Structure 1
Amino acid sequence: MKQDKAEKIIQKAEKKAAKAAKQVELAGKKAEAAKQRQMAQAEKRAAKAADAATKKAAAKTKKAEAIAKKAQAAAKRAEEKKLKALAKVAEKAVKTGEAVDGGEAAPEKKKGKKKLLLLLIPVLAAVIGGAVWFFFLRGGGEEAETQEPIPIPMEYLLNETPITALPVTGEEVLVYQEEIPPEPPAEELEDAGEKKDGETEEDGENSEEAEDAAETEEAPGFTRILYRYEGLQNPVSLISAYAALMTTEDAGFSVVDETLLRIDPPAEYGERGSVQLARNAPTAEDGTGGGVQSLLLSWEGTGCSVTLDMPEGRVRDPKPEAPAPSAPSRGLSDLEAIHPSKLGLPGETMESYRLIPQEGSVRIAGSVCMRVNVYSKNGQHAGSYFLSSDGKLYQLDEAANAVVELSWE
């Protein structure tokens, strides 16, 4: 007997050991699976961050190339203008010299005029050349502002986020892109270049150093991006269809006013006008993104424009309108005076029932309601009803776990 008991104890211990080993094995598998999931998530985050960095670097490279190309074109135009100016001055000098030679003036005067012309030519060339380069450095006029069209974009890039562009095709359509830097505050414009009363030269030097340090800091605000389209056949229909596409649930944009308040889309698009679309951008796991993405659509004649911006604030719904005056509220006294048949109860009067209101409230169809339990005189539960703040009466259908509206009349 003792031997059998010992064997049973041993078998039981072996089973426990086997069960424990199984649990250890299972725990090891779970730990390994958790480790693999963590590694996969880490790799995914790293890949996403690398992808974002690559896109950002590509965008900066593209922007730098465009600026360099624009600068080269401007320099070329300035050089051509400089050569033309020099040629005109030289031609004028030659003509003036011929007129002097052909006259009857004294030889001394002719030689003096020729020497004067020879001296004036390089001086005028230097002055004109300096003026041309000063004109170029200051930004130039119409020639310096001449833009080259870009390929029709299929997507816009706003803060590293791709956005579907206007669906435009055709060789006759020209697209131009430019950046609109944020305007400096009015106070900075008034103070720029002016020395305050009583300011010494040393103070001026210190202020210049402070201005240089301020220039190295990143300018506040967001640099908007403008896409201008020319040569369109029907920009009104194009803008209308694009606005409808971007305000779908998948795109997530809404028609907003200047305060980013959601408004109804235009009932009709005229021959000229503008409409603003905006959405709240989600924030990524690495902290990038967020803010508001805005598209300002403007159109007139055969052209239109799309301005990409990130204004401050949030896209939001308007405040709900004040509810219309509700029907006169009804209380327990009205429920006590109602005919029992209106509540689905037998009898001729409610005097044979007890009405007991419950603490708290519930909301039905947007209205706050008070629950009232009705009992017969022998204590049997006869039904549950709800009195709403807007004067409506509901009955609880316990079988369907739903409420049914009843009529007072």
Structure 2
Amino acid sequence: MAAIGPLDRRTCEGGPPCRYCIKKKQKCVPQATPTKTDVVFVNISTEPTRSTTRSAMIRPSMPEICPKMREDNLSLFINNFFSNFLARNDFGVGWDHSTMIYQFQKSPSLYHASIAVGALDMSRRLSSFSSIQAKDAVMGSIMAYAASLTQLHTEIESENLGRSDITLWTTLLLGLFELMRDKTGDGFVKHLSGTSSLLRLRGPEAHISGPGRSFFLTVRVFEICRSLIYSEPTFLCHPEWISLMMEIKREDINNTLHPKERLLDLMTECSSLSHRVRSLIRPASTDTIIDPKSSLVELAAEGLLIRSALDNWYIDFMKWSTDFDTLEQNFQSILAIIYFHAISIYLSGIFDYHSQFNDMPTPALSQPVIQGHVNMILTKTTIAMKTTNLSPLLFFFPLRVAGARVTSILEAGFILELLQEISNRSFPVAEAFTEDLKNLWQWKCIC
């Protein structure tokens, strides 16, 4: 793979005096202002305003940023990240991109991570860009990714994590980069684990309001879906993080929080319940369970309470939607309804997959009801991918749940088409879900 050409150094970098002129022992003359560029770098002391656009970026103040990358390529990558990638990947919380822009202005690690994601995304869509080759964009993304990791370690060691959200945004972007590069998804899980560790290190109080709140609400969707997809516990089940959501709701005096957030709370409860059921049925140690039957009954009763809460949420949500919006117009609402149908199936699976619960009341659903949820997931996900800018990453959980319950080749093919579309939108990690479901369908003799 050919390397990207070096920066054009025939004119001065600025100053006075700049590093280049000092090295060459020549007079330092300010570089001419470029007349044609998609990205404009301004002084970092300038605070962002409402008029700040995605193309008006601020370069962090540091020496030799990606020195082997052409300046015009850098501009293309950054502009693509803000103007295209973020525009096509809303994470379902309605967060303001100005938060990301301001953080970008202050952090070398976030700067490089933005370049990495923007370049890799551009390499997938280069039919729209004639001025740069795909191999240059791929190489640029790898270089920026490595630079971001180096700067990230430095920032973690030096900065006060209790006051800064920068490292959190960086780890999230590096995780997204992995989802775009690694078909297994393992790299994303590692970065998300790092993000979760930083969240816990800072503590819940750093995320009650402001940029910290915005980031927490963004990343908790990924964390909840990760715990459900991989059947692993999540720190969001811990009392202090449950209390954080309660505090965020109390602080929301203008009622800006979407009802989806309450549904995510119930999804977190399902994750906790699932983990405890598996731990009881398949204990990690050889210690004898004193009264497994009693414990199973208690877990089933908890599941019934969650089922009732889900049903109540749906009734309230549909009334709220009628009063305030239509599902097809509000991107958070359509995501909420997709997740409702997915978690309804998931909650049933916690119990109907285990024969130990066969002789007691549980929230398990009948096959016709499950089929109805599957149909809604496929219908609403198709609509969301066609009519909204929701990130396709948000649909992995519902599609995996629906895929586990399909009963026909037609439904299986429908899911494969949706996963292929996600892969085409810069996320080849969808192929891992495809292979997983194909193996499951072969075992169930569906395909």
Normalised-by-shorter TM-score class:
under 0.3
Greater strand share, structure number: 1
Structure with higher Rg: it is 1
In the superposition, the TM-score normalised over structure 2's length comes to 0.19
In the superposition, the TM-score normalised over structure 1's length comes to 0.20
